[in-house]
Amino acid sequence: MNELHLKLQEADPAGFLWLPDKTFLLQFWMTVRPLVEVVRLGLVPYKEGLRLQQVYVNRHRSAPAHALLLCQHSPVYTTGIRHKPYPGPLLDQLRLLGADVHRTNRGGLITFHGPGQLVCYPVLNLGSFKKSVRWYVSQLEKTIITLCGRFGVEAASSPHTGVWVGDNKICAIGIHCGHYVTSHGLALNCNTDLSWFGHIVPCGIEGKGVTSLSRELQRDVSVQETIPHLLDAFREQFNCQLTEGETPEPEQNFGVSSA
């Protein structure tokens, strides 16, 4: 640490630094970027993902403790709060496919999560960023658009939430925000088996399709290959620092593997 760095630490609360000869002063502005812990959960059942999100949400009760939970889920269909309960026979048909079905408190309608899909749950206190849910969703969209651009895929947002390649959704976004603490998040199709989406109207949007990085690039693009690009884009769009966190112990032995 050089002499200037030491002197910066001695500045008064207003940001004024008085030099030793007191002939002039220097005012500086220090922008402290929020620190976000990256937690790699691996392949986990959706219910376990919900439990772990709540664990990290609860950490914010005492002070901001930002986290970015990365995972894949076993096959599951999830419904959001923007729809009345789905008919029981329809849900039974989905279960017969070998998938779980869960109702959640996120925004949005029905969607699918499964292996080959990069799921990202940012658990952030927006007070450290910007207290605007609209801004937050926009930043998530920009994160994925930036990521896709690094793969050479031209993606965009639309009046429909999420990120799209033409008329095909490549990334679903559905969030929950309570007291400016976020949960749920986004699901990016990397090398997902897209046939799972054929049994529903994804996100309740008629006449639209789904796609993946693998389909767009005509090659296999894994979750593992995609994660570093997601982290770089997230760091850029949210102007934050990232640090690796420890993977928490599962509540039960789910055979969690590396994401």
Which residues carry out catalysis? 203
Tokens 């096959």, located at residue: 75
Q: CA-to-CA distance for 183 and 177, rounded, in angstroms?
A: 6
Tokens, residue 17: 């630094």
d(CA 237, CA 141): 10
Neighbours of 37 (CB within 10 A): 18
10 Å CB burial of residue 30 (0-12, 13-18, 19+) is exposed
Per DSSP, which regions of the chain are E strands? Answer: 16-18, 25-27, 35-44, 67-73, 76-79, 100-103, 111-113, 117-123, 163-165, 168-178, 181-189, 209-210, 241-244
Helix (H) or strand (E) holding 139: helix 133-150
